[in-house]
Amino acid sequence: MRSKLLILLVLMMSLSIGCTQAIDWKKASAAGYDVTGVVGTQIKETVAPMCTDKKIPAVKCDKMLDIYNKLRTAYRTSGQALITAMRATDAVSQQQSIEAYKKAINEVTILLPQLITLAKELGVDIGGIK
């Protein structure tokens, strides 16, 4: 249940940037961005030691590490694009940066649920997510 809520939060975050009429997109994006990072880190902090101690099959660890690395790249790329969008002084460059952010954060919203699902399959308790 909680993992579904987190996935929903991440999806809401990716959509929030399109809702500029209703809410402050900067506020919503910054908050959603942070929540996404928390989930990714909790997975790493829990799973990485288990992989080191060989408590999880190596093939599963490799797969999770691969997704985690892609998630890390997409997360940092989307953060940089978001910062550029916030600093943009004209509408055209701001829109370009927002599109770059949407593209990268869309990848995050695909990878993060994959990581959560894999962890759940292994019965890993991630900060209360089971």
Partner 1 sequence: MKKISTVIDGFINHLDVDKLNSDLEGIVITDEDSKDILSSLSAILSSISTDDITKIIAILGGLITLASKLKVLFSKSKDLGSTRAMSAEDTIALTNGLLTLALKLTSTLSSVAAQAGDTEAYIAQIKASMDTYFPEWQKTW
Binding-site ranges for partner 1 (CB under 8 A): 24, 26-27, 29-31, 33-34, 37-38, 40-42, 44-49, 53, 65, 68-69, 72, 75-76, 79, 82-83, 86-87, 127
Nearer Cβ to partner 1 (44/63): 44
In angstroms, give the least distance from the CB of 50 to partner 1. 10
Burial 76-94 (b: 16+ CB within 10 A, else e): ebbbebbebbeeeeeeeee
Closest approach, Cβ 117 to partner 1, in A, equals 18
Q: What is the DSSP string of 12-34?
A: HHHHHTT-TTTS-HHHHHHHHHH
How far apart are CB 16 and partner 1 at their closest, in Å?
13
